[in-house]
Amino acid sequence: MTLQDTLEMIKPSDKDYGAKAAARWDAIAHPLHSLGKLEDAVAKLASIQKTDRVRLDKKALVIMCSDNGVVEEGVTQTDNSVTAIVAENFLDMKTSVAVMADKLGIDLFAYDVGMVRDTRVEKRKTAYGTANLAKGPAMTRQQCIETIETGINIVAELKDKGYDIITTGEMGIGNTTTSSAVGAVLLGQPVEIMTGKGSGLTDEALAHKKQVIKSSIALNRPDPKDPIDVLAKEGGFDICGLTGVFLGGAALGIPVVIDGFISSVAALSAIRLSRNAIDYIFPSHVSKEPAGKFMLDAMGFEQFLTCDMCLGEGTGAVMLIPLLECGLEVYNRMSTFEDIDIDAYIPL
């Protein structure tokens, strides 16, 4: 699927089914809307799946792995060799999110969309890492589009395999730098408030990181009205790939869950490319990164979880799944007021 074809396929979700789901919630023997966001989430799922009998039988975690040339500028604690090590650890059940996904029955799919080393991770590589955004655009416009299309086509493959929902994750040393740069441009916010310490920087190193981002934006002059231009000049292949996942989910009717800050930058990029994509996207938690709340607010989302997490990899996104499943159990199994012969609650 091409990017253009995908954008043309994205339509608003069917709110009639959401209304039917909301009506069933009101009929269930419990105080009206007493399960709050869980009720809203089930209704949103119904709108996406076009049925009021919602299912989440097969669940996937898609992790995009790539490297960023800006690491040359000393904006991280570690070098890019760590990306490949952690990426292979996903396959070996040696990362936090791998353990969590296994516990929750979520199938993990890791993809190499731009690591500088070849590993056992499945290759969908656009290039061996991005260029250094401090010296020029991180990638070409065509590379950006190609990587977005990689994400779209991964969703198409998962749909063919029967997956009902996709959670998102990423791995790439330096990607809080690229995310801060893209987020700052798209939101028109100062770099200073969009940039955090990532995996742990000193105050001095954080000041340097902010200056690198500011200088890059001044050099590359990304157009905030053109998300592709912003991603190509300031982003990373992981963000582009995830942007494609959010767009692919919207085009093919599969809900996609945001993880943390980096994933939210991809979600916002997708929404800027197609406003209707927002109907198919779910937040999970709010990242402890300074810009985490900014990103959710910009999309009109409110987090389900506040856990002070900022690990990435998909750890926040997968945590939403058991909440949704608990909501669905009540929705699908609980008796109605009529079933137990008591008067229903009436909205006042």
Q: What positions carry a catalytic annotation? A: 313
Q: Give Cα 49 distance to the centre of its chain.
A: 19
Residue 335 phi/psi, 5° resolution? -70, 155
E strand segments, the chain? 59-66, 107-114, 122-123, 165-171, 256-257, 281-282
In the chain, what's the furthest Cα-to-Cα distance? 71
Strands 122-123, 165-171: pairing is unpaired
Residue 52 phi/psi, 5° resolution? -90, 5
Q: Dig out the tokens for 104 from the structure.
A: 């929750």
The closest of 134, 169, 179 to 290, measured between CA atoms, is 179
CA–CA distance from 214 to each of 203, 206, 246, 276 (Å)? 17, 12, 28, 31
Strands 165-171, 256-257: pairing is parallel
Cβ burial of 185 (10 Å; 0-12, 13-18, 19+) is: buried
What's the rounded Cα separation, in Å, for the pair 92 and 207? Answer: 36
